Structure formats: structure tokens, C-alpha cells
Amino acid sequence: MQECCSASPVFTGMDPLYKRALGWVIAINSIMFLVELSAGVAAGSQALQADALDFLGDSVTYGLSLWAIGRAVSTRATVAIYKAASLLLMGLWVLGSTLYQFLILGVPEAQIMGFIGLLALLANLFSVLILVKYRAGDANVRSVWLCSRNDAIGNVAVILASLLVWWLGSAWPDLVVALLMSGLFVWSAKSIFTQAWQERRQAQ
């Protein structure tokens, strides 16, 4: 709470090192989207496909974050609100597709789930290490950190789901993880929207 109440200026991303870090993270997420989507379709895993969409969403939102740096507070807050809306829509899409998958219950390939989940975890941990010193800032900066941190958590859940799918021979762990990730998208959207809306009102 002290940081929130101090007179120190809020970090807005105006740092060449931060922009370079964002560029690296965008490249990592774009590559992992293609890898994980292909693997998710091949393995029949809803959790992997949901995580692949998260990589795609992050690539787009990080690109918007990079574009918004240096612009007016109201512009940065509006971009953050847009990112929150896209996260919410993504969460609802994952929820709907997962509920549909419950009617089919095809057992995914646990080995592919585990391997790709581990690869995604390493990619996100690398992104987290790149961004960790920029975890505090305005809604635009904070949304990048929240997405990267939550992605790493989601990857751990996918790996655990793959172990349970292999052990139980059931699709239920995969589907439960996809539902949890949907909830994570919605929670992140709410958190980003709340801060962005406050910043936009203060700017006005």
C-alpha cells in the first residue's frame, strides 16, 4: 500500500530496455502459439489449445502495450481496457469449447500434453524473468506482468493435468484445467479493467 500512496511516479514503460524486453516476449509468445496449437490439435487436448490461445492473446496485447508506451494516460488506459475485454472474450470462448468437449470426452495424448506443457512453462518462465523488474506500473505495464505470471501458473496446471490423464486414463483432468484457465482469464480481465478504468477517470 505504501507504493500506491507515495509520490513516486508510476512506471509507464518509457525505458528502451523495457521496450526491448517486450519485443523478446512477443517473439516467444508468437512462436509458442504456433507450436502449442499444433500440438493441442494433434493430442486432442483442450488445455493445450486453451493455453495456445493465451499465447496468441498475449502476443497481440503485448504488441498493443508496446504501441501505447509514451502516449497519453487516457490512451494507455483505453488500450488496457481493450486488453481486458479480449481476455474476457477468450475466457468465455475457452469455457464454451470446454463445456462442449465434456459431451465428447475424448482422452487426449498425455505424453504430448506433458512435453508441450513443459516447453510452454520454460518459455513463460523465461518471459517472467525478463519482465520481473517491470512488474509494477500503470495498467498497461501491469497487464503484461499479470499475463506472463498467470501463464506460468497455467503451464504448471497443464503439466499436472497430463500426469493425471496418463494415470487415470480419463479426459476429466484436461477439461478441469481448461475450465480453471478460463476462470484465470476472466479474473485477470477484471483486475486489469479495474485499474485501467481508475486511471482513465483520473486522467479525465
Q: Give Cα 139 to chain centroid, integer Å.
A: 15
**If you count them, how many residues does the chain have?**
204
Whether residue 121 contacts residue 47, with contact meaning beta carbons closer than 8 Å, is answered with: no
Residue 24: all three cell numbers together: 523478446
What is the predicted pLDDT for the residue at 27? 92
What is the predicted pLDDT for the residue at 5? 45
What is the predicted pLDDT for the residue at 46? 67
What is the predicted pLDDT for the residue at 62? 84
What is the predicted pLDDT for the residue at 166? 76
Q: Total structural domains in the chain? A: 1
What is the predicted pLDDT for the residue at 2? 42
pLDDT along the chain (204 residues), means of 10: 51 81 90 86 72 79 83 79 79 69 57 75 85 77 76 74 74 74 79 80 75
Distances from the Cα of 162 to the Cα of 34, 46, 55, 156, 172, angstroms: 20, 11, 19, 10, 10
4 domain-assigned:
no
7 domain-assigned:
no
17 domain-assigned:
yes
134 domain-assigned:
yes
CATH of the domain at 118: 1.20.1510
Q: What is the DSSP letter of 108?
A: P
Q: What is the DSSP letter of 106?
A: P
87 domain-assigned:
yes
What is the predicted pLDDT for the residue at 57? 77
8 domain-assigned:
no
86 domain-assigned:
yes
3 domain-assigned:
no
Domain interval for residue 145? 13-203
pTM of the model: 0.66
